Amino acid sequence: MTDDIILRAEGIRKSYGDLEILKGVDFSIRKGESCSIVGKSGSGKSTLLNVLALLDKKDGGKIFYDGSDTDLFSEKDVVDLRRSMIGFVFQNSLLFEDFSAFENVLITLTIAGLKQKEAMEKAEDVLISVGLKERMSHRPKELSGGERQRVAIARAICNDAGLVFLDEPTGSLDEESKSNVEELLFSHMMRKERSLVIVTHDADLSMKADSRYVLRGGILERV
């Protein structure tokens, strides 16, 4: 059975000038599966995530979403796919500092095209689901590192993204916030049958994933 594979990448290559970062990466992920990717700093983990999420262009190889070749997608198709299916939590997640946690999520939903009332209800639901019921009106600077990361995750999942990419989601967190975020990723999100691709330095977090990979020498190896 291959029809529950939501993303498949074959032979992905990417260089910056003369620097060859990805040298033929193969990867696939199924509905409801979690994958972790570890690798040394500078090995190309963020580059790979950006390419897989169609935020950055590849130099070679193929990427299929739900079996469709993304090389055949128009720019609009790519935007639609990202809006409807993909969530992304960046390495240094940028929140709008002048807006509350609630508004940070609301803006994302409004951009996604939801009507005001619907967007407001959804923003509230999502923030409750990541455990921030009591923090909705706080601005980012009034939140702890773990809470900020929860807002970033809320933003990434508020469009009901089936596939969420997370680039070192617990990188800057203390132990307690780390385990809270891990709990959020592996309980709540998995219950909803989301698929996760998590880049991490954290061995514990990596071990919790269904499939584990290491990026080494520009190649992704299953471990």
Inter-residue contact 192 to 161 (CB < 8 Å):
no
Q: Which residues bind ligand ADP (CB under 6 A)?
A: 16, 21, 39, 41-47
Report strand pairing: 5-16 vs 68-69.
unpaired
The per-residue DSSP string of 98-140 comes to TS-HHHHHHHHHHHTT--HHHHHHHHHHHHHHTT-GGGTT--G
Question: Tokens at residue 136, please?
Answer: 């909705």
Return d(Cα 161, Cα 37) in angstroms, integer: 20
Q: Nearest distance from residue 199's CB to Mg ion, in Å?
A: 7
Q: What residues from 87 to 146 belong to the interface with Mg ion (CB under 5 A)?
A: none
Q: Does residue 172 bind Mg ion (CB under 5 A)?
A: no
Nearer to ligand ADP, 2 or 41 (CB): 41
Q: What residues from 39 to 58 belong to the interface with Mg ion (CB under 5 A)?
A: 45-46
Q: Nearest distance from residue 107's CB to Mg ion, in Å?
A: 25
Nearer to ligand ADP, 46 or 144 (CB): 46
Return d(Cα 152, Cα 181) in angstroms, integer: 11
Nearer to Mg ion, 61 or 171 (CB): 171
Q: Could you tell which of Mg ion, ligand ADP, none binds residue 146, using a CB distance below 5 to 8 A set by kind?
A: none
